[in-house]
Amino acid sequence: MVVFWNARIKGKLKIDKEITSSNPIAVGDVVDASIESDFENTLIIHQIHKRKNYLVRSSPHNKNQKNIVASNLDQSILIATLKDPKTSLGFIDRFLVSCEVYHLKAILVFNKKDILVEDEIAYFHYIENIYTQIGYDVYFISAEKNEGIEQFEELLKNKVSLLTGHSGVGKSTLINKIIPDKNLVTQSVSEWSGKGMHTTTSAEMFDVVNLNGQIIDTPGIKELGIVDVSRVELSGYFPEMKSILTHCKFNNCLHINEPSCAIKEAVQKGIVSEERYVSYIKILETIQEKWKVKIYFILYRLVGITFIDYLIIIFV
Ligand SMILES: Nc1nc2c(ncn2[C@@H]2O[C@H](COP(=O)(O)OP(=O)(O)OP(=O)(O)O)[C@@H](O)[C@H]2O)c(=O)[nH]1
Ligand SMILES: [Mg+2]
Ligand SMILES: [Zn+2]
């Protein structure tokens, strides 16, 4: 029988010093705790064990604030859908980059196969090819119609897996299929906006007893901010670019318009897919160089410069 205890943290816990996240404790953490009240089933957490790994995202409310999504994971699974709602390639690539940054195995699962028409299925196979060629595992399932569930279950054996993706892609539905007595709340996608209703509101871990695994359901996410990556490092997190980029003429090449750029040549030859290159450029545009942010704060303190003035100075 599983017994649930409510736990609270005592004082300040040290482990999070280098991450400085808004949440001191995350799903998947291993902790030392002592009983506070046997009667009320409450615990006090004294210590968080060192995390094997963790996944960090920028907070939706404040881009400079980080949130630990979960820790001690074996793999991170993106549940994507080509429609109702649509998951863009840009979003998929941001997910893959985050996993590379945190050394997490990434898996792509496309759900709602049952609602796709012929053209859309052909498009799925086109993008499946892009990702399998660069070494990612791709699955095509229907949680609703029980298609591909057995293969999906194979993935979970003896592993701690995180499920992530937009709201409404079917994360909770899928968990309900695998653990039928769970009865997680699910909700249909809004007919008006084609988007999910943000039904799951916090991350939660479940035991998949028959597979000796654990699965973490998470709330749907709109955007995926990339953290802890500088502009020059970014291409190193695209596996198909990583091996080529040492052939660029400049070792700090950003592969935009520099001469003798091996990545751009690879795109022209079709070795690197155009879709992935476009995602690379889009992500690159969103990465602020940390030193630029620091200089802004120094100027703000010294002369009270506004952020707009600062932007004008660095871009003009
Ligand atoms: N047609 C079809 N509908 C599905 C499938 N999987 C899930 N759905 C439906 O999609 C809707 C959203 O599913 P949820 O499981 O609530 O989605 P979620 O990813 O958990 O969403 P959030 O908790 O908001 O992040 C529900 O109405 C499900 O019945 C599928 O394979 N095919
Ligand atoms: Mg859900
Ligand atoms: Zn280059």
The whole-angstrom distance between residue 140's C-alpha and the CA centroid of its chain comes to 19
pLDDT over 70 (residue 314): no
Mean pLDDT in residue range 261-272: 97
Asked whether 115 lines ligand 1 (CB < 6 A), one says yes
Q: What is the pLDDT of residue 60?
A: 64
**Nearby residues for ligand 2 (ion, Cβ within 5 Å):** 171-172, 199-200
Asked whether 220 lines ligand 1 (CB < 6 A), one says yes
- Report how far ligand 2's centroid is from the alpha carbon of 173 (Å): 7
- Report how far ligand 3's centroid is from the alpha carbon of 259 (Å): 8
Q: What is the pLDDT of residue 2?
A: 67
Mean pLDDT in residue range 75-90: 97
Question: Which of 3-7, 206-210, 240-244, 301-305 is least confident?
Answer: 301-305
Fold of 234-286: Ribonucleotide Reductase Protein R1; domain 1 (1.10.40)
Asked whether 112 lines ligand 1 (CB < 6 A), one says yes
Q: What is the pLDDT of residue 309?
A: 78
Maximum pairwise Cα distance, the chain:
71
Q: What is the pLDDT of residue 3?
A: 74
Query: Which residue matches tokens 């300040």?
Result: 12
pLDDT over 90 (residue 168): yes
pLDDT over 80 (residue 109): yes
Instruction: Give the start-to-end residue ranges of the domains of the chain.
Output: 6-48, 54-217, 234-286
Choose among 172, 185, 181: nearest CA to 215.
Answer: 172
Omega before residue 85 within 30° of 0, cis = yes
Question: For the chain, what's the residue count?
Answer: 316
Tokens encoding 54: 């963790």
Domain spanning 54-217, CATH architecture: 3-Layer(aba) Sandwich (3.40)
Q: What is the mean pLDDT of the chain?
A: 89
Asked whether 144 lines ligand 1 (CB < 6 A), one says yes
Query: Which ligand is in closest contact with the Cα of 167?
Result: 1
Asked if 224 and 91 count as a contact pair (C-beta separation under 8 A), the reply is: yes
Asked whether 85 lines ligand 1 (CB < 6 A), one says no
- Report how far ligand 3's centroid is from the alpha carbon of 138 (Å): 28
The 10s digit of each residue's pLDDT in 37-49 is: 888 889 999 888 9
